[in-house]
Amino acid sequence: MPISLKVNGERIEALVLPRLNLADFLREHLKLTGTHVGCEHGVCGACTVRVDGEIVRSCLMLAVQMHGASVETIEGLSDSGEVADLQAAFRERNALQCGFCTPGMLIAAQDLLKQNSEPDRERIRQHLSGNYCRCTGYQAIIDAVENTARARMGRQS
C-alpha cells in the first residue's frame, strides 16, 4: 500500500505491505537503526518513537497507520538538538551501559519533561516504568532525568 508521511521532517513516499510494522519500516526501509527492537510485543519500550508528538511503541503500530503522520526518531531528535541536554546528562551520570534501551529511554524521558517540568523521582520512575533497562538498575537514568529537569527549570527562571 502507498503511504505518505514525514519522518524527522523529511517527506517520505513508500509502498509497504499492510502487515509491516512501524519499527521494521523505520529500520529496514529507512535504515533508521536507532529505533531498536527488543521484544516485538510492546513491553520493553526499546522501539519508542514519537508520532504526531505522542510517544508510541513502533512495534505495535503498522506502517500504513502512519499515512499523513509525522514520525520522529532518535536520529531526528538528536540532530535537531531537542534532547541534547538530556543526552549530556545521561553521559555525565553514565545512565547507559549497553545503550540498547537508550534511544527509547531518552524519547520517553523527553515526553515526561514536556508534560511535567518538575517531576519528582517517583514520577520519573513511573513514567519510565514501561522502558526496560537490564544494565543500569535505573537509578542513574532517574538521576539524569531529574538533573535535566532541574537544569531546564534553572534556565527558564
Partner 1 sequence: MTVSPAKPEGLSELDRPNSYIGKIVPRPNLERLMQGRGLYVSDVELPRMGHVVFLRSPYAHAKIVGIDATEAGRMPGIHAIVTGEQLSSVITPWVGVLSHLKGLKSAPQHAIAIDRVCWQGEAVAAVVAIGRAVAEDAAEIVKVEYQELDPVADMRTALDPETPVIHPCLGDNLAFERSLDAGRVDAAFADSDKVVEANFIFGRHTGVTLEPRAVVADWNAAEARLTIYQGTQAPHMVQNIAALHLGLEDAQVRVVCKDVGGSFGIKVHIYADEMATYALSKLLRRPIKFVADRIESFNTDIHARDHRCWGRIGVNRDGTITAFEIDDLTGIGPYSMYPRTSAIEANQVVNLVGGPYVTKNYRARARVVFQNKNVMCQYRAVGHPIACSVTEGLVDLAAAKIGRDPVEVRRHNLIADDAYPCTSPSGLRFEQLSHHAAMNKLIAMMDYDALRAEQAALRKRNIHRGIGIANFIEVTNPSAAFYGVGGARISSQDGVAVRLDAQGSVICQTSITEQGQGSESLTAQIVGSVLGVSMERVRVILGDTDNTPYGGGTWASRGAGIGGEAALQAAKILRKNVLDVAAAILQSSPGELDIANNVVVNANDGSPRIELRELARIVYFRPDTLPPGIQPELMATRHFVPREYPFAFTNGVQASWLEVDTDTGFVKLLRHWVVEDCGTIINPQLVDEQIRGGVVQGLGAALFEKCIYDERGQLTNANMADYLVPMSGEMPDIDVGHVVSPTLETELGAKGAGEAGTAGAAAAVANAVNDALRPFGAIITEIPLTPQVILTALGRI
Residue 29 engages partner 1 in binding (rule: CB under 8 A): no
Residues 53-112 that bind partner 1 (CB under 8 A): 73-75, 78, 87, 90-94, 96-103, 106
Q: Which of 12, 37, 69, 151 binds partner 1 (CB under 8 A)?
A: 37
Residue 133 engages partner 1 in binding (rule: CB under 8 A): yes
Burial code (b: 16+ CB inside 10 Å, e: under 16) for 60-93 equals ebbbbebeebebbbbbbbbeeebbebbbebbeeb
Closest separation in Å from C-beta 132 to partner 1: 6
Closest listed residue to residue 154, CA positions, set 112, 127, 114, 118: 118
Q: Which of 6, 12, 29, 33 binds partner 1 (CB under 8 A)?
A: 33
Angle at 38 between CA 32 and CA 41, to 5 degrees: 110
Q: Which of 52, 115, 129, 150 binds partner 1 (CB under 8 A)?
A: 129
